[in-house]
């Protein structure tokens, strides 16, 4: 994604070169920015990501600040580029980068406003409107729209990945909750073993106890008969 964003910045500088004054300060500023973007492209291709991620919003912030200072101040059309800086920071640097460049953007706007209030920067009361303002505005808005599209696509991809992982986890939990069916081979083996159990293994405690009880009963009867036979004689 970073590689594509660098190419997008390179292409966005082409229409700006066509509308600014040739060999002027703005022209050479854009040329220098394009050269830096090429260097950043080489760094990204070699696997160095951190420095280009910080450099892109930083360079755009400097360019917008310089354009506002040498242009029409806070009323300059380049002011909309501050939103592009915040979008780049949020997309490339995360939450901390977003907060950092938001503060820097507010400070840049406040500094240009202070220069106008203090008289350091004097802008004409009726600034001249030309075609370059339209081109700058159109290029900035197009770049901002592309960044928003990439941000939304990134969010949608993360949501889709989270939904897929949640479905997979719920399916695994459902499989763990279902009891494992008993094996038919194991059941048949157990039933076969119970049928073929030898007779010696069967319990004999019931027969032994019944025989003992009957013997005890007969002994008591014989003793009772003897005592009854001897009682008249005494």
Give domain status of residue 163, yes or no. Answer: no
**Tally of structural domains, the chain:** 1
Residue 148 lies in a domain: yes
Range of the domain at 61: 2-123+130-155
Q: Is residue 58 part of a domain?
A: yes
User: Quick check: is 215 in a domain?
Assistant: no
Cβ distance 139 to 17 under 8 Å?
A: no
Q: What is the pLDDT of residue 208?
A: 46
Report which DSSP code applies to 78. Answer: G
Which residues lie closer than 8 Å to 10 by C-beta, 6 or more apart?
34, 37, 38, 41
Q: Give the confidence band of 105 by pLDDT, cuts at 50, 70, 90.
A: very high
Averaged pLDDT of the chain: 76
The whole-number pLDDT of residue 58 equals 93
Which two three-digit tokens encode residue 190?
Answer: 């157990």
User: Where are the alpha helices (H) located in the chain, listed in sequence order?
Assistant: 2-19, 25-45, 50-70, 81-118, 131-177, 184-195, 205-230
Distance of CA 209 to the CA centre of its chain: 76
- Pick from 141, 152, 146: nearest CA to 8: 146
Q: Is residue 48 part of a domain?
A: yes
Question: What pLDDT digit, counting tens, does each position of 166-207 carry?
Answer: 888 888 888 887 665 555 555 565 555 555 555 444 444 444
Q: Would residue 59 count as lying in a domain?
A: yes
Confidence of residue 104 (pLDDT cuts 50, 70, 90): very high
Place 5 in a pLDDT band, splitting at 50, 70 and 90: confident
- pLDDT tens for 27-81 read 788 888 888 888 998 898 888 889 989 999 999 999 888 888 888 888 888 888 8
| Of 41, 46, 39, residue with least CA distance to 8 | 41
With respect to residue 222, please indicate whether it lies within any of the assigned structural domains: no
Assigned domain for 223 exists: no
């Amino acid at each position: 994604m970073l590689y594509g964003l660098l190419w997008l910045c390179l292409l966005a500088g082409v229409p700006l070169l066509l509308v600014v004054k040739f060999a002027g300060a703005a022209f050479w500023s854009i040329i220098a920015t394009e050269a830096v973007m090429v260097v950043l492209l080489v760094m990204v291709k070699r696997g160095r990501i951190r420095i280009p991620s910080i450099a892109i919003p930083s360079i755009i912030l400097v360019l917008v600040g310089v354009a506002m200072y040498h242009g029409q101040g806070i009323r300059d059309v380049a002011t909309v580029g501050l939103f592009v800086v915040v979008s780049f920071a949020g997309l490339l640097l995360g939450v901390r980068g977003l907060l950092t460049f938001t503060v820097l953007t507010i400070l840049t706007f406040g500094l240009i406003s202070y220069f106008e209030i203090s008289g350091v920067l004097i802008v004409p009361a009726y600034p001249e409107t030309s075609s370059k303002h339209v081109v700058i505005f159109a290029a900035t808005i197009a770049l901002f729209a592309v960044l928003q599209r990439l941000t939304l696509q990134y969010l949608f991809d993360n949501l889709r990945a989270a939904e897929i992982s949640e479905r997979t986890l719920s399916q695994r939990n459902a499989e763990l909750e279902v009891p494992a069916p008993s094996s038919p081979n194991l059941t048949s083996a157990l039933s076969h073993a119970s049928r073929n159990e030898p007779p010696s293994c069967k319990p004999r405690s019931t027969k032994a106890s019944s025989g003992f009880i009957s013997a005890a009963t007969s002994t008591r009867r014989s003793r009772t008969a003897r005592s009854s036979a001897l009682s008249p004689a005494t």
